[in-house]
Structure 1
Amino acid sequence: MTKTGSVVSSFSFGGKLTKIYTKKNKIKYIKLVTKQGKYWLKITKKLRKKVANLSRGCQIEVAGKSRRNSKTGKVKYEAQTIVLIPQDTEQTTEVKTKIVSLLPVLDTEVKSKARVLICQKSNCWKKGGQKVYRQLESTLSDRGLSKDIPIKKTGCLKKCKQAPTIVMLPDKARYSKVKPKQIPDLVDKHLIAGN
């Protein structure tokens, strides 16, 4: 992918609250320890009061959006919901993790005039355009968006040496050297409202 920026996706972690970072008496970040690792999560303004009522060591479940910088690979997490997990009567040291998909929340509204253009000329098609096209169809179908977002095969998009090439509308974002594994993130970023 040649376009720079960040890729947005959803996350859900369950774990132990170990630290609360404040700046100028305002809660900015929390540190969550899970089975998968340790995460610093940015706290939105609307969650500050809720976090202020939590004590260190409590078990919480946090869901929100993550942004991965496509250049550096670094991921930043922003919490959008926090739920206190009630402690069992038996004290266990095991951290319980529940995975919740946020896709139904994020993909309920499609951007107006959302569609995808994909070059079908021989160079793009032979260098992986056909696989990218199939992945686009599969991703849109999985999210129930096949009827709402058309995929239009086009003529040459003038990026033959960087094939395959796609354009995500209405953002007019052009991507070259696209790999099928990048398609889900691109769909979430450019075609779904609220991302």
Structure 2
Amino acid sequence: MGLGVIDLPTFCLEGTVEEVFYKKGRPKVVILKTATGTVWIKLEKSLRRELQQVPTVGDRLRLEGTISDKYDGWVKQYKASHLEFLATAQPSAAKRSQPCKVLICQKSSCCRRGAKELWQELEAQQLPIALKATGCMGECKRGPAVVVLPHKKRLTRANAQQIRELVCSTEA
């Protein structure tokens, strides 16, 4: 008795990417919002390796592949073997207009070295930043310790001039 070839049902879906999950730096699963609902689609390993452009949230895609049953038919697993970009998402202006966030250590040794004065100075300058007090960052001997987000720049012995320059460089 030989092994038979099983024909799996196929699919062709178009939709907008809601989320992408990665494994080892490559996209593994794409959550696609279609006209009928939201679908989790796993990308075949060969497709993951061949991708020239990585799907991002907001992209319009067409995916083709097979559907298989898992857990005795309770779950349908979509596995894509072909991916086509219909349109790519444009970067939104809302993300660019987010203010920088400045994290300032509030541990006592950082405060003794000028963290509170730095905080007051930054508030007085009315820069487009959000100040946030944090716990120890492990740099209190060289305080005040500061982290400027979104580019995660760590500063020690920070002053308001350094932070102003970093904030201005991210706005440009």
Q: TM-score range with shorter-chain normalisation?
A: 0.3 to 0.5
Structure scoring higher RCO (CA < 8 A, sep ≥ 6) equals 1
Q: Determine which structure has the larger strand proportion and give its number.
A: 2
Larger Rg: 2
Please, what TM-score do these two structures have when normalized by structure 2?
0.42
